[in-house]
Amino acid sequence: MWQIFLGSLLLSLIHALIPHHWIPLIAISKAENWTKRETFFATFVTGFSHMLSTIIIGIIVGFVGIKLSESYSEITSLAAPTILLGMGIIFLILDFRTSKHHHHFDIEEERIKNKRSKTAIITSLGLAMFLTPCLEIEVFYFQAANYGWPGIIVVSAVYLVMTLLFMLLLVHLGLKGINRFNSNFLEHHAKSITGVILIILGFIAYFVEF
């Protein structure tokens, strides 16, 4: 179970570090003159919405994986790491072939300038995040299914808690001006980083299983 925990932790960290998960919240907070508490609340709501849809789909994937492992354990134990490797390669190819990456939500300056209500802003961001679940962790759910429901629970709990904590920490640092680093690398190579991690996890899962 240790590789499931560590894999979930790594994916949570990379997931939270993607600039478009937290930089827009800092920008909107400053544009709307939100307090730190209001900004943290918005971060929690949008992050939780994103995690909720991701986990729901992940549980469905995990359920399918558990059912398959009950009847075809040898096949699923080989298929899970193979899928991780395959998706890692796909993420790398997508990063090399595209210059514009999928963003969970974007900032529209006109909307910020219009000073919409906090409720409207948070609701729209939360809805946007809910409708854009992350694919990389869904793949990992299939690997966790080899360990039954305990594996599914570990992935869900770690991914939910750690992603939210990382997002809140990054927003906190951003508001204090501590994290003034060049985020272009993460912004333009998030898929490559995710792909490398999925490939590593695939190799680990393969050798641990076999």
pLDDT tens for residues 52-97? 999 999 999 889 888 887 666 666 667 767 776 777 787 677 767 6
Residue 102 has pLDDT above 50, yes or no: no
**Which range is least confidently modeled, 103-107, 161-165, 180-184?**
103-107
- Output the pLDDT for position 185: 52
pLDDT tens column, 164-207: 999 999 899 888 875 554 455 555 566 676 677 777 777 776 66
Can you read off the two tokens belonging to residue 147? 């360990």
Mean pLDDT across the chain: 77
Q: Are 200 and 81 in contact (CB under 8 A)?
A: no
Residue 101 has pLDDT above 80, yes or no: no
- Output the pLDDT for position 73: 63
- Output the pLDDT for position 27: 85
- Output the pLDDT for position 183: 53
Residue 112 has pLDDT above 70, yes or no: no
- Output the pLDDT for position 161: 93
What is the residue type of 34? W
Can you read off the two tokens belonging to residue 135? 């694919």
- Output the pLDDT for position 38: 92
Q: How confident is the model at residue 22 (pLDDT cuts 50, 70, 90)?
A: confident
Q: How confident is the model at residue 149 (pLDDT cuts 50, 70, 90)?
A: very high
Cβ within 8 Å of residue 154, ≥6 positions away? 1, 4, 5, 8, 144, 147
- Output the pLDDT for position 107: 44
Cα–Cα distance, 122 to 111 (Å, whole number): 13
pTM of the entire structure? 0.72
